[in-house]
Amino acid sequence: MRFSSTLALLLASPLLALAQYSCDPNVCKLPDCACATTTPPGGLDPAQVPQFVVFTADDAIQSYTIDAVNQFLAQRKNPNGCKPKMTYFASLTYTNYSLITDWYVAGNEIADHTITHMGSPTKEEVNGNLIALNALAGIPLSALKGFRAPLLDFKAETLQILHKSQFLYDSSASASVPVTDPNTNAYWPYTLDNGIANNCDTPGLCNGEPKLPGLWEIPMYAFFDNRGVVGPHLMDPWLRPSFLALRDSANGNNAPSDAATLAFMQKTFTDHYNGKRQPIGLYTHPIHVSLSYPGTTAKKSTIDMINSFLDWAQNHDNVWIVSNEQLLDWVRNPAPASQMSSLASFSCPAPTYDASAKICNGVPTSEDGTLARCGFSDFPFFTCYGCPTAVPTVDDPNPAQSAQTRFRVPANCSTTYWDPVEGKCLCNSPSCAFTDVARPIGPNDASYQGGGIGGDFKLLSDGSSTGGGSGSGYAPFNGAQRVQDAVVLWPILLVFLAAAVFGAVAV
Ligand SMILES: *[C@@H]1O[C@H](CO)[C@@H](O)[C@H](O)[C@H]1NC(C)=O
Ligand SMILES: *[C@@H]1O[C@H](CO)[C@@H](O)[C@H](O)[C@H]1NC(C)=O
């Protein structure tokens, strides 16, 4: 999100509406309800609370963006010896599906960022993304828990869509007042049983609205430069000048200063660590920290600075780099930092399957030679699950397959064990039993459970639907209302153009 100074001021205003938030912790209890509060969950003393550093990335997934993220994560370990996991909010235009499968099978969280990168999205943008991620990247519907609004542009209706489509959480709201300020809105993740308590400047939010029981909000925690409440840096804090660098700009230097950024990031981290240990977040757009993306303007010194920050943060006791999904698992079942190493969500079990088998299962060495290349002229992509006849769109997120027929991940086999070529589950023992959920995200809100081979949505006898393949033709997604392609494509074109021209856009 681009912060104009007016917007920054707006977001940082003391939010009078907050007085209207009320939540009774005796009624609203974990694991499925939590009040918006700055105190750690479970009554834990902040000294016993792990300091979570949430790492997220947004937008299209390509080799460049995975490489960019890996610059910060691949070489690291959490205190239990496992590699850190992160959350990727995927939008699908220009996405290479096989890389999503790999990233998921490696233990990372994949979440929804709409198909075409649309702010205040329609239900079709949100739900179609789930269907396409399930069909072409093999991500189980139960694993697609989270959503972030492109441009962080969301309304009460957006949250209502998420609730209805059975998302576990949204992470689009911002904690825009420092933890050291008595009016801070840096709440631990909370449920919307009593409405939202962040982004109160958006009409329809706060004052107890919207009430969406069980839907979590994971606020995005801003860093603050020397200006404090009027100097928030939310996403890609390294892209915009800090206060110090702004002052320099009077002397003709308007570039962000890595040294100034490192200093204010450390200061904000310390405020969280020495306070109530609310999480902190590195919310990245990998394209802006890629040294290999064609035409990149990213600087090696910025990459080094971010790594210095993480090295420094990890030198503190009980610091964990995590995905949103891991954070939420802990918040719902809080345990003292001393017990972290025994918690399943933070462990890294080795998969038990025949590593020499050639199967398209998200493990790069196993799937070598088994991927299908879908040669669309705009952007060719790879997938394990068979090339569709057309690029997935809002109108048709799961097009029929072209020549070759592969089988999409069914509801009763996990991605790692599914052979999409043979249509066979490679493990049938109870130890790897898997059951996916069905969600009301199909055409006209039909319950959708994945599987099939693409094409029309096949209605099952119990009223639910799958990714069909009966060959009876395409049933338009959510009725007859079609979204004009031009309307959908313009914003993304603008984003790409702007990124190309300025090399410093963060959305
Ligand atoms: C897409 O993925 C394939 C296979 O994983 C890889 O060979 C290719 O380089 C990727 N291309 C991009 C642009 O991500
Ligand atoms: C999954 O369901 C299919 C169809 O109902 C069945 O043939 C198959 O044996 C099941 N697989 C497992 C691993 O349970």
Model pTM?
A: 0.89
502, amino acid identity:
F
pLDDT of residue 251: 53
pLDDT of residue 459: 60
Does the pLDDT value for residue 507 go beyond 60? no
Cα 434 to Cα 140, 159, 344, 347, 413, distances in angstroms: 10, 29, 17, 19, 5
Closest atom of ligand 2 to 413 CA is 13
Pick from 382, 383, 387 the residue to mutate for probing ligand 1's pocket: most ligand atoms within 8 Å of its CB.
Answer: 382
Mean pLDDT, the chain, as a whole number?
87
pLDDT of residue 338: 96
Check if 141 has its Cβ closer than 6 Å to any atom of ligand 2.
no
Does the pLDDT value for residue 28 go beyond 60? yes
At residue 240 the predicted structure's pLDDT band, cuts being 50, 70 and 90, is: confident
Residue pLDDT, tens place only, 201-213: 999 999 999 999 9
Residue pLDDT, tens place only, 176-197: 999 999 999 999 999 999 999 9
**SS3 state of residue 343:** coil
Give the mean pLDDT of 389-405: 88
CA of 498 to the centre of ligand 2 (A): 48
Check if 435 has its Cβ closer than 6 Å to any atom of ligand 2.
no
Supply angle C-alpha 397, 400, 404, rounded to 5.
130
- Cα dihedral 368, 401, 445, 217, rounded to 10, equals 30
- Which has more pLDDT, 125 or 469? 125
Tokens 């902040």 correspond to 46
Closest atom of ligand 2 to 425 CA is 13
- Which has more pLDDT, 92 or 243? 92
Residue 482 neighbours by CB distance under 10 Å: 14
- Which has more pLDDT, 351 or 283? 283
Ligand nearest to the CA of 435: 2
**Residues 346, 295: Cα–Cα separation, whole Å:** 37
Among 250-264, 294-308, 414-428, name the one with the lowest average pLDDT. 250-264
Range among 6-15, 304-313, 466-475 rated most confident: 304-313
Q: What percent of the chain has pLDDT over 90?
A: 73
Does the pLDDT value for residue 481 go beyond 80? no
Pick from 59, 61, 62 the residue to mutate for probing ligand 1's pocket: most ligand atoms within 8 Å of its CB.
Answer: 62
Give the mean pLDDT of 69-92: 98
At residue 225 the predicted structure's pLDDT band, cuts being 50, 70 and 90, is: very high
Supply angle C-alpha 119, 121, 127, rounded to 5.
135
Give the mean pLDDT of 349-358: 78
Task: Please provide residue 406's backbone torsions phi and psi, each rounded to the nearest 5 degrees.
Answer: -115, 160
Q: Which residues have CB under 6 Å of ligand 1?
A: 62-63, 96, 98-99, 371, 382
**Residues 27, 31: Cα–Cα separation, whole Å:** 12
Which residue's C-alpha comes closest to atom 14 of ligand 2?
Answer: 412
Does the pLDDT value for residue 476 go beyond 70? no
Give the mean pLDDT of 306-322: 98
Give the mean pLDDT of 320-340: 98
Structural domains in the chain plus CATH codes: 5-340 (3.20.20.370)
Check if 428 has its Cβ closer than 6 Å to any atom of ligand 2.
yes
Does the pLDDT value for residue 370 go beyond 60? yes
Residue 102 neighbours by CB distance under 10 Å: 20
At residue 248 the predicted structure's pLDDT band, cuts being 50, 70 and 90, is: low
Q: Which residues contact 110 (CB under 8 A, 6 or more apart)?
A: 87, 88, 90, 100, 103, 104, 133, 137, 139, 143, 144
**SS3 state of residue 85:** coil
DSSP-derived secondary structure letter, 209:
B
Give the mean pLDDT of 372-399: 94
Closest CA to 201 of 188, 185, 217, 187: 185
CA of 382 to the centre of ligand 1 (A): 7
Pick from 412, 422, 458, 461 the residue to mutate for probing ligand 2's pocket: most ligand atoms within 8 Å of its CB.
Answer: 412
Check if 425 has its Cβ closer than 6 Å to any atom of ligand 2.
yes
Which residue's C-alpha comes closest to atom 10 of ligand 2?
Answer: 412
CA of 460 to the centre of ligand 1 (A): 35
Render the burial of 400-429: b for 16+ CB within 10 Å, e for the rest.
Answer: bbeeeebbbbbbebbbbbbbbbeeebbbee
Residue pLDDT, tens place only, 413-456: 999 999 999 999 998 888 889 999 999 998 778 889 888 888 86
Pick from 414, 425, 427 the residue to mutate for probing ligand 2's pocket: most ligand atoms within 8 Å of its CB.
Answer: 425
Ligand nearest to the CA of 294: 1
Does the pLDDT value for residue 73 go beyond 80? yes
